[in-house]
Amino acid sequence: MQWIDIGANLTHDAFDLDREAVIAQAHEAGVMQIVVTGADVAGSAMAAELARGHPGRLFATAGVHPHHAQQFEPTQLPALRALLGCAQVVAVGECGLDYFRNFSPRAAQLRAFEWQLQLAADSGKPLFLHQRDAHEDFIAALRAWGARLPRAVAHCFTGGERELDAYLALGLSIGITGWFCDERRGAHLRSLVGRIPVGRLMLETDAPYLLPRDLSPRPASRRNEPRYLPHIGEAVAHARGETVEYCAAHTSAHAQEFFSLSKPGAPKAAI
Ligand SMILES: [Zn+2]
Q: How confident is the model at residue 142 (pLDDT cuts 50, 70, 90)?
A: very high
How many angstroms is it from 123 CA to the middle of ligand 1?
21
How many angstroms is it from 102 CA to the middle of ligand 1?
13
Assess whether pLDDT exceeds 60 at residue 269: no
How many angstroms is it from 97 CA to the middle of ligand 1?
9
How many angstroms is it from 128 CA to the middle of ligand 1?
9
Terminal-residue alpha carbon distance, the chain: 32
What rounded mean pLDDT belongs to the chain? 95
How many angstroms is it from 103 CA to the middle of ligand 1?
13
Give pLDDT tens digits for 91-132.
999 999 999 988 999 999 999 999 999 999 999 999 999 999
Alpha-carbon gap, residue 232 to 160, rounded angstroms: 19
How many angstroms is it from 73 CA to the middle of ligand 1?
20
How many angstroms is it from 64 CA to the middle of ligand 1?
10
Q: Which residues contact 201 (CB under 8 A, 6 or more apart)?
A: 173, 174, 176, 193, 236, 250, 251, 254
How many angstroms is it from 94 CA to the middle of ligand 1?
7
How many angstroms is it from 28 CA to the middle of ligand 1?
26
* Helix (H) or strand (E) run with residue 237 in it: helix 229-240
How many angstroms is it from 134 CA to the middle of ligand 1?
13
How many angstroms is it from 7 CA to the middle of ligand 1?
9
Q: Which residues contact 35 (CB under 8 A, 6 or more apart)?
A: 4, 5, 6, 7, 8, 58, 59, 60, 61, 90, 91, 128, 204, 255, 259, 261
The predicted structure's pLDDT at residue 262? 85
Q: Are strands 31-36 and 152-154 parallel, antiparallel or unpaired?
A: unpaired
Query: Longest Cα pair distance anywhere in the chain, in angstroms?
Result: 49
pTM of the complete model beyond 0.85:
yes
How many angstroms is it from 45 CA to the middle of ligand 1?
18
DSSP codes, 14-43: GGTTTHHHHHHHHHHTTEEEEEEPP-SHHH
How many angstroms is it from 75 CA to the middle of ligand 1?
24
The CA radius of gyration of the chain, in Å to the nearest whole number, is: 17
Q: What percent of the chain has pLDDT over 90?
A: 93
Q: Which residues pair with 60 in a beta bridge?
A: 36, 89
Give pLDDT tens digits for 32-55.
999 999 999 999 999 999 999 999
Cβ atoms 108, 133 nearer than 8 A: no
The predicted structure's pLDDT at residue 47? 98
The predicted structure's pLDDT at residue 271? 46
How many angstroms is it from 130 CA to the middle of ligand 1?
5
The predicted structure's pLDDT at residue 56? 96
How many angstroms is it from 138 CA to the middle of ligand 1?
14
